[in-house]
Amino acid sequence: MARNITPRADDYSKWYLDVIRAAELADHAPVRGCMVIRPTGYAIWESVQRHFDDAFKRTGHQNAYFPLLIPSSFLEKEAEHVEGFAPECATVTHAGGEKLDEPLIIRPTSETVIGHMYGKWIQSWRDLPVLINQWCNVMRWEKRPRLFLRTSEFLWQEGHTAHATEAEAREETLRMLEVYRQVMEDVLALPVVVGEKTEGERFPGAVNTYSCEAMMSDRRALQAGTSHFLGQNFARAFEIRFQNKDGVMEECWTTSWGVSTRLIGALIMTHSDEDGLILPPRVAPTKVAVIPIGQDGDSLMQAARSVTEQLNSALGGLFCELDTRFHMRPTDRFFYHLQRGVPLRLEIGERDLKAGTVRAVRRDNGDKLNIESDAVAAKVPEILEDVQRSLYERAKTFREDNTFFVSTYDGLKSVIEENGGFVEAFFGGTPEDEVKIREETGATPRCIPLGDDSRGRCVITGKEGKKTIFAKAY
Amino acid sequence: MARNITPRADDYSKWYLDVIRAAELADHAPVRGCMVIRPTGYAIWESVQRHFDDAFKRTGHQNAYFPLLIPSSFLEKEAEHVEGFAPECATVTHAGGEKLDEPLIIRPTSETVIGHMYGKWIQSWRDLPVLINQWCNVMRWEKRPRLFLRTSEFLWQEGHTAHATEAEAREETLRMLEVYRQVMEDVLALPVVVGEKTEGERFPGAVNTYSCEAMMSDRRALQAGTSHFLGQNFARAFEIRFQNKDGVMEECWTTSWGVSTRLIGALIMTHSDEDGLILPPRVAPTKVAVIPIGQDGDSLMQAARSVTEQLNSALGGLFCELDTRFHMRPTDRFFYHLQRGVPLRLEIGERDLKAGTVRAVRRDNGDKLNIESDAVAAKVPEILEDVQRSLYERAKTFREDNTFFVSTYDGLKSVIEENGGFVEAFFGGTPEDEVKIREETGATPRCIPLGDDSRGRCVITGKEGKKTIFAKAY
């Protein structure tokens, strides 16, 4: 049934781009490495944003907006930070018709400029904690761009918090990691492993970096979100200080955490199939497409409208779309919504009208079902919940089926080469060992899973190591 | 009662900045001309966004996202456009550690890059109209920045639409002008004059520009939003073509329209007073502050919580804030919300508790009122509606009291010099005449009001002219 979508088995990258094209999610911009997010893709992003934003606000965070341009001297104040980001920076040298005294960097992330402002705003323990998030665009120049996964400009949120104690900052870092896990699993139906990054994979300037790692349907890993405990590194560089209850000046403890439009890439590569996009109902901007079939007449339209209104009321929003493009063949309209990942299609034809039923077709597995017209408002939300659960379970089973424990480096190499997926191994090596593994296998340490304190013989050094997941990654 | 806020009469600019500082709305960024929007200010922007976004979606528009960076050659494709924007551009010359082949401009507005994409996407009359909006940051380098009013970077929305006929595009241009007027008047309580810009004030590349003009409390005008009919200028430059129903290729007709964070400046300068910010209830993120006074005890807290919950339920959202900072004196808490423009304060003290009442204090006029505790959910929404109406009426009366008709250029000069405000005069001059008026009086033509077709002797040329509003403007 697929039209113009390359089978995954033939060329996964091409399949991915075909899914994006068929659903009209995004397009390449005229500037190499940048993308245009088209209305269908942007509606998904708005839905993703709303779910995360609600969760941030529930946990006491406020939104704000910090400037796009950062003096290049700011980046240099934190040694590891500049080393990590300088190679990817885009630089403004001229503005208002003049050469600037100091080049300005388009933010690749905002720890520095936000640190500078926190240094001005925070005076006393009474000002703490500061819990701020911003939704914005950032720029990291990409040599090998891929829509949603790696683009020179992308959209994201970055949370930046400042605390009076190390314990509070560590608690915040893990709280936001857990918020990420919940929204990813419960809303995006992305099963993720949460864990700590190894030294070589840490955010430049962080003391500890934690991440959510998801498995795509080609068995590669995708880092879906990160949360960083920054210690006092940025507080030191930007003089973020407060007077404690005893009147003594101390440096703050800070955190940062972010998710980006690459989550749309994760949605595509986790759930979609040979026909195109599949979206979990909770994140789908359109959850149900109602398609009247036959002659554009009063009774048919009345039934279709009634079903649509009942559903929007039952779903608590304009989540049900009535497709009255009678100039298009029904199969073309089916395909339109199919390729856009709409979780459920309701067809109403003359025969259904007489029988007092509608025909429901699930996007995730193609199951068909007749529903009594007056039971639609009760039944459809149940079906959508089942679709949501099924997509999550399918992805989770796939990940479990493709996760392997190895006790030797040879084992790691052969699993990565022959099957791919997540490889669990004990690891206690250095960043140099991580480079060696990447060069020899293509895999990198994704994370040391939280809640698994088992220790064992490192597959590289032979010394004690922590359970670590390795995988080829996006 | 004002603390650290300069009286308007002493120094209006300083008063404006003091209001912003006292409410913690925004701060200067380390890069000159740029701003940081702090949580209190950003919450207002989120509220403004939601109201406009709902109105855009109701009128059939979808959101999308186009890239930040535009090849400099794009700007040059439309002659007037490049002439208008080149002097304000910020230019990226280096990225990813290399000098770029072609300099990239940080978007000052996106007609060019969106035009380029529309040229790719639009093929047939069936693809039309295209009705897209984007929320984003833009950059126009400012020599004399002022928070919210003129900053090098600001946040805005820009709608860009493409149509098959001139009539449809003209209809869209005026439809969105009317959407702007409605949201500004009904939600932001900003009375605006809608009209067409004179030739000298037109958007670079537009055939016609329309605007909403508001009067600030220092009698200067502020352009609060613009809507442009672009004719086929950008369609020609970017080859936005479609095959019509007869199979013939035609160029599209396009429009664009925008409002920005300068609306927050308009809110401040329209409604606020010597004590600080005043917000109209419909746009206020916090509509009511509930302040328990006295000892932090069970019965007091129970009453305060009950009032807060009743109100949030009655107002349909978390619009009521319970302020339990007992470590602060009641007057300090009053002042905190007062300076942030919260429309209504509810005080509950021991005496009120016994009497079964709460004390309501209006921000707009200081009126005090005792409300029975069990009538709060019914009464408060009525009071808020009255505050909303009063703020609008007050601003409208102020504008009417400061609008004058003159029939000579001397009259225009003396009104501008002695009183300020809006001066209505017949005008039929050239852009050169506009420059002369600006240089001699400081005033510019704000708009030719729609719906007023009266004609008369131009105050400059003596020939026939249209009724035009002149004012000093932000």
Residue (of A10, A20, A53) closest to A267 by Cα position: A20
- Nearest CB to A63: which of B46, B64, B91? B46
Q: Does A174 touch chain B (CB under 8 A)?
A: no
> Per this entry, what is the length of chain A?
474
CB contact under 8 A, B92 and A106: yes
Is the CB of residue B175 less than 8 Å from the CB of residue B451? Answer: no
Strands A464-471, A422-427: pairing kind: antiparallel
Chain B contacts of A64, Cβ < 8 Å?
A: 36-39, 41-42
Strands B241-243, B98-106: pairing kind: unpaired
Whether omega before B129 lies within 30 degrees of 0, making that bond cis, reads yes
CB contact under 8 A, B65 and A45: yes
Chain B contacts of A91, Cβ < 8 Å?
A: 92-95
**Best residue of A32, A53, A69, A107 to probe chain B, by most B CBs closer than 10 Å:** A69
Is the CB of residue B121 less than 8 Å from the CB of residue B161? Answer: no
Largest CA distance in chain B: 80
Cα-based torsion angle of the residue sequence A58, A61, A64, A69 in order, rounded to the nearest 10 degrees: -120
Confidence band for A296, pLDDT divided at 50, 70 and 90: confident
Confidence band for A458, pLDDT divided at 50, 70 and 90: very high
CB contact under 8 A, B88 and A106: no
Q: Does B316 touch chain A (CB under 8 A)?
A: no
pLDDT at site B297: 84
Determine the CATH number of domain B12-271: 3.30.930.10
Q: What is the mean pLDDT of residues B56-84?
A: 93
Under 8 Å CB-to-CB from B51, ≥6 apart: which residues?
B183, B187, B282, B283
pLDDT at site B1: 44
Residue B348 tokens, joined: 């509950």
**ipTM for the assembly:** 0.96
Q: Does B27 touch chain A (CB under 8 A)?
A: yes
Q: Does A473 touch chain B (CB under 8 A)?
A: no
Buried-state track A12-28, b at ≥16 Cβ within 10 A, e below 16? beebbbbbbbbbbbbbb
What is the number of other CB atoms lying within 10 angstroms of the CB of residue B77?
18
* pTM (predicted TM-score): 0.96
CATH class of B288-383: alpha beta
pLDDT at site A413: 97
The C-alpha atoms of residue B474 and residue B467 are separated, in whole angstroms, by 21
Q: What is the pLDDT of residues A137-193, one digit of tens each?
A: 999 999 899 999 999 999 999 999 999 999 999 999 999 999 999 999 999 999 999
The C-alpha atoms of residue A457 and residue B368 are separated, in whole angstroms, by 74
Chain A contacts of B42, Cβ < 8 Å?
A: 62-65
Q: What is the pLDDT of residues A241-282, one digit of tens each?
A: 999 999 999 999 999 999 999 999 999 999 999 999 999 999
The C-alpha atoms of residue A112 and residue B32 are separated, in whole angstroms, by 16
Show the 3-state SS of A406-422.
CCCHHHHHHHHHHCCCE
- Nearest CB to A93: which of B34, B39, B94? B94
pLDDT at site B82: 87
Q: What is the mean pLDDT of residues A432-456?
A: 96
Show the 3-state SS of chain A.
CCCCCCCCCCCHHHHHHHHHHHHCCEEECCCCCCEEECHHHHHHHHHHHHHHHHHHHHCCCEECECCCEEEHHHHCCCHHHHHHHHHHCEEEEEECCEEEEEEEEECCCCHHHHHHHHHHHCCEHHHCCEEEEEEEEEECCCCCCECCCECCEEEEEEEEEEECCHHHHHHHHHHHHHHHHHHHHHCCCCCEEEEECCHHHCCCCCCEEEEEEEECCCCCEEEEEEEEECCCHHHHHHCCEEECCCCCEEECEEEEEEEECHHHHHHHHHHCECCECCCCCCCCCCCEEEEECCCCCHHHHHHHHHHHHHHHHHHCCCCEEECCCCCCCHHHHHHHHHHCCCCEEEEECHHHHHHCEEEEEECCCCCEEEEEHHHHHHHHHHHHHHHHHHHHHHHHHHHHHCEEECCCHHHHHHHHHHCCCEEEEEECCCHHHHHHHHHHHCCEEEEEECCCCCEEECCCCCCEEEEEEEECEC
The C-alpha atoms of residue B356 and residue A420 are separated, in whole angstroms, by 70
**Best residue of B21, B28, B31 to probe chain A, by most A CBs closer than 10 Å:** B31
Q: What is the pLDDT of residues B71-129, one digit of tens each?
A: 999 998 988 888 889 899 999 999 999 999 999 999 999 999 999 999 999 999 999 99
Q: What is the pLDDT of residues A22-42, one digit of tens each?
A: 999 999 999 989 999 999 999
Which chain B residue has the Cα nearest residue A27? B117
Under 8 Å CB-to-CB from A33, ≥6 apart: which residues?
A141, A142, A145, A151, A152, A153
A403-471: CATH topology? Translation Initiation Factor IF3 (3.30.110)
Q: What is the pLDDT of residues A234-246, one digit of tens each?
A: 999 999 999 999 9
Residue (of A401, A397, A402, A396) closest to A422 by Cα position: A402
Whether omega before B280 lies within 30 degrees of 0, making that bond cis, reads no
pLDDT value at A360 more than 70: yes
pLDDT at site A368: 97
Under 8 Å CB-to-CB from B46, ≥6 apart: which residues?
A63, B285
The C-alpha atoms of residue A352 and residue A349 are separated, in whole angstroms, by 5
Domain ranges of chain A: 12-271, 288-383, 403-471
- Helices A39-58/A166-186 angle, 10° precision: 140
Q: Does A249 touch chain B (CB under 8 A)?
A: no
Residue (of B108, B106, B102, B129) closest to B118 by Cα position: B129
Confidence band for A100, pLDDT divided at 50, 70 and 90: very high
Residue B277 tokens, joined: 């910010």
CB contact under 8 A, B67 and A31: yes
Residue A423 CA neighbour count, 13 Å, CB half: 29
Task: Tell me the backbone φ, ψ of residue A442, rounded to 5 degrees.
Answer: 85, -10
pLDDT value at A293 more than 90: yes
Q: What is the pLDDT of residues B146-190, one digit of tens each?
A: 999 999 999 999 999 999 999 999 999 999 999 999 999 999 999
Q: Is B298 exposed, middle or buried (0-12, 13-18, 19+ CB in 10 A)?
A: exposed
Residue (of B418, B421, B422, B401) closest to B410 by Cα position: B418
CB contact under 8 A, B92 and A90: yes
pLDDT value at A1 more than 50: no
Task: Please state, in angstroms and as integers, the Cα–Cα distance from residue B250 to each residue in A454, B228, B241, B244, B245, following that order.
Answer: 69, 21, 5, 7, 10
Chain B contacts of A43, Cβ < 8 Å?
A: 62-63
Q: Does A147 touch chain B (CB under 8 A)?
A: no
Q: What is the mean pLDDT of residues A378-400?
A: 98
pLDDT value at B214 more than 60: yes
Q: What is the pLDDT of residues B405-434, one digit of tens each?
A: 999 999 999 999 999 999 999 999 999 999
Is the CB of residue B159 less than 8 Å from the CB of residue B56? Answer: yes
Q: Is B295 exposed, middle or buried (0-12, 13-18, 19+ CB in 10 A)?
A: exposed
Which amino acid is located at A178 in the chain? E
Task: Tell me the backbone φ, ψ of residue A133, rounded to 5 degrees.
Answer: -125, 150
Chain A contacts of B27, Cβ < 8 Å?
A: 117, 120-121
Mean pLDDT, chain A, as a whole number? 96
